[in-house]
Structure 1
Amino acid sequence: MKIASRMTGLTPHAIRAWERRYGVVAPGRDSNNRRFYRESDIERLALLHKATDAGHQISRIAGYSKEELQDIVDRMNVIDMPPRKAPELRTAGDLTIVRDYNVYVDEILSAVERMDRKSLEETLMSAETEAGRNALLERVVIPVMERIGELWRKGELRISHEHLATQGVRTFLGSLLASQKTFPGAPHVVVTTPSDQVHEIGALTAAVTAASEGWNVTYLGPSLPSEEIAGAVTYNGSRALILSLIYPESDPLAARELRKLRRYLPGIPVIVGGRARQSYSQVLTEIEAVIVNNLYEVRTVLELIRTKGGV
């Protein structure tokens, strides 16, 4: 199972769930009754992973042949897909998908209110299995964390609720990042947040996204001084740096750190996202950072860097 997970980029939970619910593969058993996956199983799971990440529902494509799945993936590689501004773009006109996303968000909020971390993590796993990794990040994780922040600011949730949610989501995203394959010769990217930017869920979603796109990701966690960030970028020859700015907004310290980063890393693309990004627009323009508004734009910028050397 670990080998299959590593080779396909799917979590063991997703593989088991797809086998149980949809019969996508039928692994064999060795003399010790341990399951093993044939090369054809690995290829099929990898194709299903790519297709679901592009927005296809596993329930709809589970019965597709290898040739049909390969056709989906091939078309993904040649079509310049527009940003998915609304969930229904995953499957035109299918409003059940929108409802499903809201169900996941509501279930997570309910689990947080009950301080039920196990249910929180199980819901995240179900969302990743059913909706695909990109939809999980863009339509479940980011909206639910924004909603939890709003409820905390209104006094409708306690700090302990917010901490439980953050820890549960962080652990889950970390497991997704750890399950991603690494590729010899693939480009490197460093992901982190500047000093005193302690909120890291945005950075983690960007890290998982970059890894899903075939980049070798060095995730450093939150709140690092510019010298340390630049050292990591230089050490592994990274071709890009991704930063998340969430809180505080318009912080003079963060602005100074961003200017220092550009001095340390001339010519390295600096990709910046996060809720506070607009409050730093002046300094980000000054250092020629690439401002991204969503994870689709992160994927687009990374692809431009990989194929054209810059943006």
Structure 2
Amino acid sequence: MVYSISDLEQLSGVQSHTIRIWEQRYQALKPDRSDGNTRLYNDEQLKRLLNIVSLNQSGLKISKICNLSKHDFNILLDQQLASFTVDKHYESIVSQLINYGLSFDGNSFSRLLDRSFSDIGPVGTYQEILYPLLVKLGLMWSKDDICPAHEHFISNIIRQKLFAAINALPGTTSSSESWLLFLPEDEDHDIGLLLASYILRLNGKNVIFLGSRVPLASIKEVLNTTKVNHVLLFMMKGSMIKDVQNYVNQLSHICRNVNIHLSGNGQMIGKLNHIEHINWCKTLVEFEEMMKIPTIL
């Protein structure tokens, strides 16, 4: 794909001005130019920028990162991958799932995931197996060890299993609390949201699941036509803080009579102002515990 510098800003959370400085001072990226002299970036340059941001967040200076050879770059990414630990009891399962995913062996991947769901349940499977699996896949993508097709293949099987687990739960009554679940317009990955839907339904809540890339106008329309007690959204991308703040402010205005619950990128959410009225769910355990507390409406 071809990206503009504003696309890179949106996808990486790094301001366009900063990207230009990194290019001029450290040759971080080498964009092509259009006939009108507009910067144009490809997939490899986007990946390099995301890797630079990742290594910078781990404490390395931009000047050092940009002077690394590709070999040294991959060594640091390998170290990140090695430093991410998985409970030894589940490590072999995560490794098997990765191997099945890389070979596009959907039957074996599905059977192993079914066994995990049966043994420790969907929530336990997510905590102990799927979350480590998804983190490792992200790091492997950064090193070109996998391609987008692998990620889509694996993610779609996981989503199918979560949908099946949700459909197997008993229905809720019309008097149940209603939760509206969605992702903002620039968010795609809904596995965490699906798991939240499962937990809510397991606890007898009524769930209105809108999925990914939902405009704020649609949220307003739902709230105007349907009784909703709670709104839950995930914000994962490292977007510009000012843009996220503006979005949260607009959402708060739309949902002024509704309880808002937010989860996702902790580094980003922690920088937001005036969110005292929003329940920030930092962990899955926190969210599960919240379900055990009666809500006063």
TM-score category (smaller protein):
0.5 to 0.7
Task: Give 1:107-126 correspondences, 5 Å limit.
Answer: 107-126=96-115
Match of 1:146 among 102, 114, 135: 135
Task: Give 1:1-311 correspondences, 5 Å limit.
Answer: 98-184=87-173, 185-250=175-240, 252-274=242-264, 276-283=265-272, 285-286=274-275, 288-304=277-293, 307-309=294-296
Please give the alpha-carbon distance, in whole angstroms, between the structure 1 residues aligned to 2:220 and 2:240: 22
Deviation at 1:285, TM superposition (A): 4.1
Conservation of the 8 A alpha-carbon contact between 1:152 and 1:158: yes
Count residues with an aligned counterpart. 211
Gaps of 5+ in 1: 1-96
- CA shift digits 1:246-301 (9 cap, x unpaired): 12433644433221111011132211112x24313343643622111222211223
Match for 1:196: what amino acid? D
Q: TM-score, normalised by structure 2?
A: 0.65
Please give the alpha-carbon distance, in whole angstroms, between the structure 1 residues aligned to 2:242 and 2:185: 11
Please give the alpha-carbon distance, in whole angstroms, between the structure 1 residues aligned to 2:241 and 2:286: 25
Match for 1:111: what amino acid? Y
Distance 1:156 1:243, change over 3 A: same
- CA shift digits 1:169-221 (9 cap, x unpaired): 11111121222222212211111111101121121121112122221111111
Please give the alpha-carbon distance, in whole angstroms, between the structure 1 residues aligned to 2:296 and 2:254: 19
Give the aligned partner of residue 73 of structure 2: none
Please give the alpha-carbon distance, in whole angstroms, between the structure 2 residues aligned to 1:263 and 1:123: 45
Conservation of the 8 A alpha-carbon contact between 2:238 and 2:268: no
Distance 1:181 1:157, change over 3 A: same
Please give the alpha-carbon distance, in whole angstroms, between the structure 1 residues aligned to 2:162 and 2:134: 13
Distance 1:251 1:200, change over 3 A: farther
Please give the alpha-carbon distance, in whole angstroms, between the structure 2 residues aligned to 1:194 and 1:254: 10
Please give the alpha-carbon distance, in whole angstroms, between the structure 2 residues aligned to 1:284 and 1:203: 24
Match for 1:289: what amino acid? I
Indicate the SS of the match to 1:142. Answer: helix
Deviation at 1:243, TM superposition (A): 0.8
| C-alpha RMSD over aligned residues | 2.2
- CA shift digits 1:98-134 (9 cap, x unpaired): 5442232122111111111222222211101011232
Conservation of the 8 A alpha-carbon contact between 2:176 and 2:205: yes
Gaps of 5+ in 2: 1-85
Please give the alpha-carbon distance, in whole angstroms, between the structure 2 residues aligned to 1:236 and 1:118: 40
Deviation at 1:168, TM superposition (A): 1.2
- Look at both structures and tell me which one has the larger radius of gyration over its CA atoms: 2
Distance 1:233 1:259, change over 3 A: same
Please give the alpha-carbon distance, in whole angstroms, between the structure 2 residues aligned to 1:302 and 1:145: 25
- CA shift digits 1:142-171 (9 cap, x unpaired): 221121111111211111111111111111
Please give the alpha-carbon distance, in whole angstroms, between the structure 2 residues aligned to 1:115 and 1:104: 16
Indicate the SS of the match to 1:220. Answer: strand
Distance 1:168 1:233, change over 3 A: farther
Distance 1:285 1:135, change over 3 A: farther
Conservation of the 8 A alpha-carbon contact between 1:108 and 1:120: yes
Deviation at 1:240, TM superposition (A): 1.0
Conservation of the 8 A alpha-carbon contact between 2:122 and 2:162: no
